[in-house]
Every structure is written in structure tokens, then in C-alpha cells.
Amino acid sequence: MTGDTVEAVSCTQLAYAFGETRAVDGLDLSVREGEVFGLLGPNGAGKTTAIRCITTLLPVPSGMVRVFGHDTARDRMAVRRLLGYVPQQLSADSGLTGRENVALFARVFDVARRERAARVAQALAAVGLTDAADRLAGTYSGGMVRRLELAQALVSAPRLLILDEPTIGLDPIARTGVWEHINAVRAATGMTVLVTTHYMDEADQYCDRVALMARGRIHSLGTPAELRQGLGERRRAAGTGATDTLPTLEDVFRDVAGSGLDDQSGDFRDVRSTRRTAKRVG
Ligand SMILES: Nc1ncnc2c1ncn2[C@@H]1O[C@H](COP(=O)(O)OP(=O)(O)OP(=O)(O)O)[C@@H](O)[C@H]1O
């Protein structure tokens, strides 16, 4: 931590390998309290693995991860109490109502019994599901399922909300809906948000800062405007690319990742898992 700034997440030289595959390879990352931080990168860049280390779902074999100052290796339960996590995989049960799904998470996260009903109702209201709360989740649209999963993560009133591809496979209106609810809760509570997304337009619009990740580490970091301006200046200096229009975040991403990366990163497993996730919420 430096000065008065509290770091919600700090990763120092984090590394994680699956056999020979170095999924995360010397990751240095700092997320400030209260910001919406976007972790961007192609399939297989290591985003989900890094997030699993931060959430304590994976051990930290090398390097250090801290959440609000707590070392995830030594203080796992303290870390878990501070965060809400919406994974890529389906975490809602289609055979339960929306309310029952959120109530289950309230129990798991140890929300005091006498507060539970009110907190469940509050979380459902925060994501706009009050009217649908007593319907089976199996009848929900993809956007509603995602908002239900958001309510599940919010019921424990986390200081840090971690979302892995929260809008994948959703139509533009549902995507906007998910972000509006995230932002409303954040404005009301000051919660920090760490999100991975493949949608550059969303990162540009909703993230205070973004990090572009490739091959297990960060290659570029800044506000979306800083990154766009930086590329514009490099293009002007080199006299290359379109110099009359400001680059998009997508342009920055391509510039950082390099044209060869698309072919090299990610494998069949990555593509299959991404598509499966997209399909189940679509
Ligand atoms: N359980 C696993 N077993 C073996 N290899 C894995 C496993 N999970 C991830 N990997 C590999 O680790 C690397 C990083 O994967 P990871 O899922 O962290 O990337 P990602 O950036 O989240 O990708 P996506 O955008 O597709 O979710 C990839 O090469 C992937 O194939």
C-alpha cells in the first residue's frame, strides 16, 4: 500500500502453471479501492487463472496475492469474507426460485439468520429481480440469470466484487442492464469491482482502468483514454495507421497483443469453454 491509497487487490510476481502451461507468468497487478478495474486479454491469456488465485479457489504456488492487505495464502477465510465472485460457469440452480438461490448464498456466506430475508430481498431488488423473485430460475432469460448470479454475489455485501465475463453471450440490452446494476450498487456502497471481459466497448465505457494481459502477464495498463491516446501519439510519431481518428480500445488491444497472438493464444479447450458459457446464458 502506498500513502493513503488502499489496494483492494495486489498481485506480486504471481505465477501459476498447469503442467507445462504457464497460465500466469509473473503477474504484477494493483487494483485500487473503489475502482472498476478491467482485466482484458485473448482466450488463454491467464485471466481466469489469475482470478481464481485472487479468490483463493487456487493456491498461490509462487508470488504473493493480497486482498485489502490480507495474504491469500495465510488468511484465506478473511479474504473470502471480503469478496463476492461471479464465475464464468453457471452458479444458479434452475430448479430453485430466484429468492431461494440467493438465500442459499446468504447461508453459505454466513449472513446472520435474522438479517437474511431482508438482505436477500435487498440483493434481488438491487439487480431488478423483485418481481421475478419467486419464479423458478429455469424460466429466466440469459440476462436475468446473470443478474441473479450478481445478486448471489452481492448478498454478503462484499467490499470487492469479482466478475469473470459477466456479459458473455448476452444481447446488448441485457449487457447494459447488467452493467447498470453493477454501477448502481457500486455508487451506493463504494464496492471495488474487478472484471474480465472480451468486450472492448464495455471496458471502455465502464472501467476506470484496464490492464491488457497476454501470455500470463500485464502488457499495458491505464485508463481507457490514456491507452487510446498513447496509441494515437505512437501512430502520429511513426506516421503509421489512421492518424486522423482517435484509436479505439480494440486498436490498442491489437497493437499490444500483436497480430500473431490470435493464432498462438488459446487452444481448443479455451474456445470450447467460451462457447459453452456463451450458449448456456444465451
Ligand atoms: N484446468 C486446466 N488444466 C490445464 N490447463 C488449463 C486449465 N485451466 C486453464 N488452463 C490453461 O491455462 C492457460 C490460461 O487459461 P485461462 O482460462 O486462465 O485464460 P483466460 O484468459 O481466462 O481465457 P478465456 O478468455 O478463454 O477465459 C490456457 O493455456 C489454458 O489452456
**Ligand 1 neighbour 43 (Cβ under 6 A):** yes
Report the complex ipTM. Answer: 0.96
Q: Domain 7-275 is in which class? A: alpha beta
Which atom of ligand 1 is found nearest the CA of 271? Answer: 26
Whether 268 has a pLDDT exceeding 60, the answer reads no
Q: Is 54 in the pocket of ligand 1 (CB under 6 A)?
A: no
Where in the chain are the domains?
Answer: 7-275
Q: Measured from the CB, is residue 274 less than 6 Å from ligand 1?
A: yes
Which of the listed residues 18, 29, 57, 212 should we mutate to test ligand 1's pocket, taking the one with most ligand atoms within 8 A of CB? 18
- The pLDDT tens digits of the residues spanning 15-46 come to 999 999 999 999 999 999 999 999 998 889 99
Q: Could you read off the pLDDT of 152-173 as tens digits, one per residue?
A: 999 999 999 999 999 988 888 9
The proportion of the chain whose per-residue pLDDT surpasses 70, expressed as a percent, equals 88
3 — pLDDT class (breaks 50, 70, 90): low
Three-state SS string over the chain comes to: CECCECEEEEEEEEEEEECCEEEEEEEEEEEECCCEEEEECCCCCCHHHHHHHHCCCCCCCEEEEEECCEECCCCHHHHHHHEEEECCCCCCCCCCEHHHHHHHHHHHCCCCHHHHHHHHHHHHHHCCCCCCCCCEHHHCCHHHHHHHHHHHHHCCCCCEEEEECCCCCCCHHHHHHHHHHHHHHHHHHCCEEEEECCCHHHHHHHCCEEEEEECCEEEEEECHHHHHHHHHHHHHHHCCCCCCCCCCHHHHHHHHHCCCHHHHCCCHHHHHHHHHHHHHHC
Q: Is the CB of 13 under 6 A from ligand 1?
A: no
| Average predicted confidence (pLDDT) for the chain | 88
